[in-house]
Amino acid sequence: MPYVDLNVRAASRVSSAELQRLGYSVVGVNVECDAGAKPKEAASVADLPQEITDKSGKAAKKAKQYAAAMANALALKDTATDAINATRKTLRQLKRITLKVEDVTAAQAINSSPVLKTYDVVAVEAANAKVFQFLCEQGEIDVLTFDVANRIPFQLKKPWLDAAIKRGIYVEITYSVCLGDSAGRRYFFSNASNLVRVTNGRHLVLSSGATRDLFLRSPYDVINVGILMGLTYGQALDAVAHAPLAVIEHAEQRRGRAQLELLPQLATPMDES
150: domain CATH number is: 3.20.20.140
SS3 assignment, position 3: strand
Domain of residue 219 covers 3-272
Q: Are 8 and 27 in contact (CB under 8 A)?
A: yes
What sign results for the dihedral spanned by CA atoms 89, 252, 143, 195?
negative
The reported pTM is 0.83
The whole-number pLDDT of residue 52 equals 73
Residues in the chain: 273
Q: Count of domains in the chain? A: 1
Mean pLDDT per 10-residue segment, the chain (273 residues): 95 94 98 89 94 61 40 42 49 97 95 94 98 98 97 96 98 94 91 97 98 96 97 98 98 76 44 42
Give the CA distances from residue 43 to residues 95, 106, 261, in Å, rounded to whole numbers and listed in that order.
Answer: 8, 23, 20
Please tell me the number of Cα atoms within 13 Å of 147 on its side-chain side.
13
Q: How many angstroms separate the CA atoms of 157 and 29, rounded? A: 30
The residues near 245 (Cβ < 8 Å, ≥ 6 apart) are: 2, 4, 26, 262
Biggest CA pair distance of the chain: 54
User: What's the rounded Cα separation, in Å, for the pair 170 and 241?
Assistant: 13
| Residue 54: predicted pLDDT | 59
Residue 205 and residue 247 in contact, taking contact as beta carbons nearer than 8 Å: yes
Sheet holding 24-33, edge to edge: 204-207, 170-174, 143-144, 121-126, 92-101, 24-33, 3-13, 210-212
| DSSP class of 59 | B
Do 71 and 9 touch, CB atoms closer than 8 A? Answer: no
Per-residue H/E/C for 179-200: HCCHHHHHHHHHHHHHHHHHHC
pLDDT at 125: 98
| DSSP-based three-state secondary structure for 5 | strand
The SS3 call for residue 105 is: helix
User: Residue 251 and residue 62: Cα distance in Å, rounded?
Assistant: 34
pLDDT at position 268:
40
Q: What is the pLDDT of residue 230?
A: 97
Measured CA to CA, the distance from residue 144 to residue 200 in angstroms comes to 16
Are the C-beta atoms of residues 155 and 133 closer than 8 Å to each other? no
